[in-house]
Amino acid sequence: MSTDTDVQLVERAKRGEVHAFEMLVVKYQRRIERLIGRLVRDTDLVADVAQETFIRAYRALPQFRGESAFYTWLYRIAVNTAKKTLADLKRDPIITESALAAARQDDDETSRPEHELSDGETPEAVLASREIAATVNAAIEALPDDLRQAILLREVEGLSYDEIAAVMACPIGTVRSRIFRAREAIAERLRPLLDTTKGRRW
C-alpha cells in the first residue's frame, strides 16, 4: 500500500533526513509491534524489540536497494530481531522469567509466573483501543456515501487515485478531495480522544 510514498521517504532518509525515516516509523510502528507481539508474546518486550527493529533498519538503510517493498524488508528485520531476542533470553534466563514463560506458551499455564500487566494489556489500554476502533467505525458510518466509498477503496482495497477515479467515475482531483475530507471527518471525532494535550503531542 502506497509504496510510492515509501520509496520517496526512504530516498530522503538515505540523504540524511532523519524525519523522513520517522514518518515511516509512524506509519509502520503499529503493524511491526503487532507482528512482534505474535512472535515474542511477552508484552513487556514487544516495544523493546520494535525499537531495536527500527534502529537496525535505520542503520541498514544505506544497504536497502528497494528490490523488495520497504515494509517487506522491515518485516524481515523485525522477525529476525524477535528471534534473536528470544534466543538471547534462553541463554540468559535471569532477566527472562516472564518472557520465557510466555514463550513456553500455554503448556504450563498454572505455574506461569505472575507479571505486572504492561502498557499494552492494561484494562485501560484495551478499553482505549476499543474506543478508538468504535469511533472510527461510527465515523465511517456517518460519512456521505461518496466519501466513505473513496476512503474504503483507498485504505481497505488499496486502490490508487487513478483506479478509484475509474471506479467512481469522477476526476482524480475529486478522489483526492474526497479521501482527504473523509480522513478529516474521522480525525475530527478522534482528536477529543487523544489523551494528551493536543499541541504537545509528537
Partner 1 sequence: MNNADLPAGSDRAALSALMDGELDASQVAAACASWRSEGHQRSDWHLYHLIGDTLRSEDLATRPAHDDQFMRRLRERLDREPVVLAPTRNDATAEAAAAASAATGTDGAPAMATLAAISPLQRRSARRARWAVPVGIAAGVVAVAGVVWSTRSDSGALMAGRFLPASAAASAATLRDDRATLAEAELSGYLRAHREVPGLVAPTPSAGYLRNAAYDAGDR
User: Which lies closer to partner 1 via its Cβ, residue 103 or residue 185?
Assistant: 185
Q: How far apart are CA 85 and CA 83, in angstroms?
A: 5
Compute the half-sphere exposure of residue 7: CA atoms within 13 Å on the CB side of its CA. Answer: 9
Q: How far apart are CA 104 and CA 85, in angstroms?
A: 15
Q: How far apart are CA 72 and CA 198, in angstroms?
A: 33
User: Which lies closer to partner 1 via its Cβ, residue 79 or residue 168?
Assistant: 79
Q: How far is the CB of 159 from partner 1 (least distance, A)?
A: 10
Kindly state the greatest CA–CA separation across the chain: 62
User: Which lies closer to partner 1 via its Cβ, residue 74 or residue 99?
Assistant: 74
Q: How far is the CB of 79 from partner 1 (least distance, A)?
A: 7
Q: How far is the CB of 179 from partner 1 (least distance, A)?
A: 6
Q: How far is the CB of 133 from partner 1 (least distance, A)?
A: 4
Q: How far apart are CA 145 and CA 188, in angstroms?
A: 18
Q: How far is the CB of 142 from partner 1 (least distance, A)?
A: 14
The angle that helices 70-91 and 43-60 make with each other, rounded to 10 degrees, is: 130
Residue type, 49: V
Q: What are the percentages of helix, strand and coil residues in the chain, rounded to 5? A: 80, 0, 20
User: Which lies closer to partner 1 via its Cβ, residue 20 or residue 97?
Assistant: 20
User: Which lies closer to partner 1 via its Cβ, residue 63 or residue 111?
Assistant: 63
